[in-house]
């Protein structure tokens, strides 16, 4: 069993119908797929790899190696570390402070984010089409709050771990938001997705973009598309680079199953056929930060009670 790999460029030719079907199947059966020929230039992706690696070496590695996480793992107890991840991470937003010491980092990542946001919106339009929704439905749903959709980028590194049996790179979770676009290391593996009770490796492939669906796509699709559980395993070798970007609703956006996806013959039946509550995304996030690594169904129950 392997994560679907889909040629995004074939949406523009004779194989469009087949490519749409591949993406629909990946969203329904996996919640994860890899895109090749996605329209982001290899030259830009190579620059992203270069500046991300240089950034870690120059601005992050020393502090990570001095961290309490490392000292706790080097003790002699042998106990598994709970409630922590073997990960170095920063988050880039349009309006927060960015690293400034690594040459080319800001310019390259800003260009990359610009291109990736366009790709995210194309992927959402494909989801609209496959779900039978009007073009732009998901984008509009995510942008219906005061400040527009949220687009953030996490630059993570998973350094070599001396005791991978004692700590995960990143504990198993589903993503809270909408569409997640991951540019992962093309040599060092570790990302796994849960499929039919089995953990399946998301195989490293050069310059692909991994797409996964978050909890809000599950809600909007009324459960047709599921957010997938995934995790990162730590390893004794290699420093795994992971750059994940999140196209999420505005915190003030109201999220609910699309009416077109709720089967109904009368109003009472419509309530029964709606599998998810209607809520404000910011309320969902306040629940999620407390329950990220716990089963997701209670999150929906908690937010419906707010």
Is the separation of the CB atoms in 105 and 54 below 8 Å?
yes
Residues 95-109 have pLDDT tens digits of 999 999 999 999 999
Q: Give the number of domains in the chain.
A: 1
Q: What is the pLDDT of residue 267?
A: 54
- Give residue for tokens 């290699």: 238
Whether pLDDT at 265 is above 50: no
Q: What is the pLDDT of residue 274?
A: 72
Is the separation of the CB atoms in 142 and 213 below 8 Å?
no
Tell me whether strands 150-158 and 240-248 are parallel, antiparallel or unpaired. Answer: antiparallel
Q: What is the dihedral of CA 221, 32, 94, 283, to 10 degrees?
A: 40
Nearest to 191 by CA among 237, 245, 232: 232
Tell me whether strands 32-36 and 5-7 are parallel, antiparallel or unpaired. Answer: parallel
In the chain, pLDDT over 90 holds for what percent of residues? 88
> Which one is predicted more confidently, 264 or 139?
139
Residues 39-85 have pLDDT tens digits of 999 999 999 999 999 999 999 999 999 999 998 888 877 789 989 99
Q: What is the pLDDT of residue 144?
A: 85
Q: What is the pLDDT of residue 79?
A: 85
User: How many whole angstroms separate alpha carbon 108 and alpha carbon 131?
Assistant: 35
CATH of the domain at 188: 2.60.120.330
Q: What is the dihedral of CA 273, 27, 296, 286, to 10 degrees?
A: -100
- Domain coverage including residue 13: 5-304
Full-model pTM:
0.94
145 pLDDT band, cuts 50/70/90, is low
């Amino acid at each position: 069993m392997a994560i679907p790999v889909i040629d995004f460029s074939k949406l523009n030719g004779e194989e469009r119908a087949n490519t749409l079907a591949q993406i629909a199947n990946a969203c329904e059966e996996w919640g994860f797929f890899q895109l090749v020929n996605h329209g982001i230039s290899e030259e830009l992706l190579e620059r992203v790899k270069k500046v991300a690696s240089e950034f870690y070496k120059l601005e992050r590695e020393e502090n990570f190696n001095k961290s309490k996480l490392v000292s706790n793992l080097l003790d002699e107890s042998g106990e598994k570390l709970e409630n922590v991840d073997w990960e170095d991470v920063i988050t880039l937003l349009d309006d927060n402070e960015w690293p400034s010491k690594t040459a080319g980092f800001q310019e390259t990542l800003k260009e990359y984010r610009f291109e990736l946001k366009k790709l995210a919106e194309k992927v959402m339009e494909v989801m609209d089409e496959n779900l039978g929704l009007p073009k732009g439905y998901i984008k509009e749903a995510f942008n219906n709050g005061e400040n527009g959709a949220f687009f953030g980028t996490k630059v993570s590194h998973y350094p070599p771990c001396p005791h991978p049996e004692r700590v995960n790179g990143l504990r198993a979770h589903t993503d809270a938001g909408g569409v997640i676009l991951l540019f992962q290391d093309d040599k060092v593996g570790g990302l796994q997705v849960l499929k039919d009770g089995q953990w399946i490796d998301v195989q490293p492939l050069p310059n692909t973009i991994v797409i996964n669906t978050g909890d809000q796509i599950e809600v909007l699709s009324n459960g047709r598309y599921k957010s997938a559980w995934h995790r990162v395993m730590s390893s004794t070798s290699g420093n795994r680079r992971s750059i994940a970007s999140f196209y999420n609703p505005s915190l003030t956006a109201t999220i609910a199953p699309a009416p077109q996806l709720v089967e109904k013959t009368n109003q009472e039946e419509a309530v029964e056929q709606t599998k998810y509550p209607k809520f404000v995304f910011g309320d969902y996030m306040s629940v999620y930060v407390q329950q990220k690594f716990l089963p997701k169904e209670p999150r929906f129950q908690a937010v419906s009670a707010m």
